[in-house]
Chain A
Amino acid sequence: MRFTWFNLMPWPYLPDDFREKNRSVWVDIPNTLYDPKKGHFVYHQYMDQLEYAETLGFDGIGCNEHHQNGYGLMPSPNLIAAGLARRTSRAAICVIGNSIAGYNPPIRVAEEFAMLDVISGGRLVAGFPVGTPMDTNFCYGQIPALTRDKYGEAHDLIMKAWAEDEPFAFDGKYNQLRWVNCWPKPIQKPHPPIYIPGGGSIETWDFCLDHDYNYSYLSFYGYLRGKSLLEGYWERVAKRGKDDSPYRAAFAQIICVADTDAQAEELYAEHCLYFFNRCLHVFPPFADPPGYRTVNTIKYGALSQLRMEAQRIMQGLTWKQLVEERFIIAGSPETVRQKLEECITGLRIGHLFCLLHTGNMPDWKTRHSTKLFAEKVMPHLRHLWPEWKHDDRWWIHPMEERLRPEETRPGAEKPGQEWR
């Protein structure tokens, strides 16, 4: 079982009346709510936390991409990852990922991911989301009905750019490049592990299975709600005749650990409610532009009504509901261990994205929860999936002999190595 410490990087200063005064945390959030001087401290705090997680033994540290979003401060996750690559040397750097349908030309992603893989010594996990409609369609202007097609083309271009040893011409519908010649190329061969974060489109399952990529279900609604979707995925895996290695799937979960269950509420309730009440306050039409979801997906899953329904649920949430309905897993180390084991085995996932910072949680609480998790929960869950413990098909393969830049003081001169 593998654990990645993941930070959504929410803006922690949304006002108390944010929900009443604004229709959406995403797309058209008033950008006067952002204060760049406070932002300076926020970025460093969040990146420090990611680095801290590595020292505690998390397998990976991760971030993702969002635009014009009050709960995600990373329009460019690659910048965050570049910082982490210089200050860590063991953990996988999981960029989950770049919404490639919005990059013009997408060869940029092949280049930047290759740079990250090279700088980190082969520690990149490369995520290729189709991108949320908020990001890809409303912020980045891509046509909803063509997004998936454009995504597919961008994917083919990037993978070919990594694989080919000779320059080639790419005559795509959306991208025409006469000279594709990826420079640099990634360390990991044939390519870094690919994770496809899905929100619930059933087409994504087949895409993952066609290419043997990891399917990551990123939802904030917990494993009870995630269960039907992952069951659908595993059925599809079986139907396609693939093995059922749990490492084919990943799941994101908000987790809060304290010494006791009561203390968890005392320490974290306010911050989790901040997240659910303010950070997930999205104007429903932004979540469902016509054409983004195929008719099959709409029929399989929820109507947009249910997205409206989800918004209504958010409104009156209490800590008790969050915990009982398993939106979050919170409590003493033992409580968290039990519930997580149920989540992991129930969903059959080999990879957990641990959301241990939530909403406007201050640094000390984040570290407290993270440390308890690393010391008192994680070791007891490592043993899960013993029959697959050697399955590293969806994990990084770094260089053995690599630099450990975080272990040398920045700017320190080494005797005999001065420039002459």
Chain B
Amino acid sequence: MVEPTTIRVMVFGEAGAGKTVYLAGMFRQLSVARPDSIITLHTREVDRLKLNRIYTDVVNPRLHDFPATTTWVADPWHFTCQFTNQHGTFYPMAVEYLDYDGRMLDPIHGELEMSDDDVDADPGLQQLYAYRDRADAYLILIDGLKLLRMLCGAPELEHWLENYLGQQLQVIERRQDHTGRRPPLHLVITKWDLLDGRVIDGEPVTLDTIAQLLTRQGIFADHLERRFHDKDRPVRLIPVSVTGPFAAFDEQTGRVVKVPGQPVIPCNVDIPFAALLPDILRWRLDQMVTDLRSPADERTVERLRRSALLLRSARGLTDSVRSPLGGWITRKLLARGVGTSASARTATAEITKGLLDQLGVYFDNRERLARERLATVEEEHRRRLQAITTEREAFALMVESYIAHLDDFEDRHPGSVLTAGVPA
């Protein structure tokens, strides 16, 4: 098996947007295999228990309120992805998800009003920036409650969406690679149940309404245009709800409340992850091919082959010089006036033969060792090739299954692919 690579997912989300609840809901949904989701997420035991606790607090009707805001932390949660199909069980990657206080996204101009020195000296912020700037994929969470207020005409939110999207896109733009490709990006509307079908100004809110609103935001529209050529990496708009009808907007108090008696029906919680997977898996497949053609391996094979050939030539040389060398030594001894007797010549010939035999055995052993090592390396190479071929087939199957899952999502939510053009 190829060692899993860790994929860093940076989730942008303001305070209250629902990062923590979404994380707990996503883990709940993806930690158990389902017919439409073959990949499962696993984490260390203590984190599993913590995420379950957060989720059960969210859906517990006896706890009146939703969990409090996350405090000043920027520690990533680590998950291993596992999937099983007819080719075996695979761990294609590990995924990291950063949870943090949303105020950290704008510590200077936001409500924190931190100074430049404070930002530089803050270890939590530096951790967040380091993670954000090395992320492999991005999700921008848009708070459904804030969106609802904006659609209802809250004056303080008039330019909120454009400013918020613009700030996050600046960061994502910096991650454009030398080929011009940008990392995967999807937009996630949280608390979708508060918006879905709500009648505002005589019109029901739909995903199309929101998609149109987003594509009217100048900076975001420009960004989408630049991604238009990247057809195999679409930007999606994904409405999610962790609780479904169990949470509702109380018009009288203006609060999001739990509705005991209503069922908890998560909506699209796994889709943002599923939308990132095909991109990431394709990238992983490319990486496997690169790994297979490792220059270090090829150099080792070439070096061992040359050594074996050289040693065989040396062995051959030892046999071919056997009689000329014996004659040459005898002539030298005669020229110096030593070893003229028959017994001395016999002794000299014996010694020469012995030395050449020893040399021959030495070359034989070295050649055998080189060939054994070569066989081991080639066997390892073949084994890896087989493993990777199997894993590639398994990955390809998984990519297909996720694309089918996303197609199904697109059928249910036409207009969710933002890069396909401005929805009608």
On whether the two chains bind one another, the answer is no
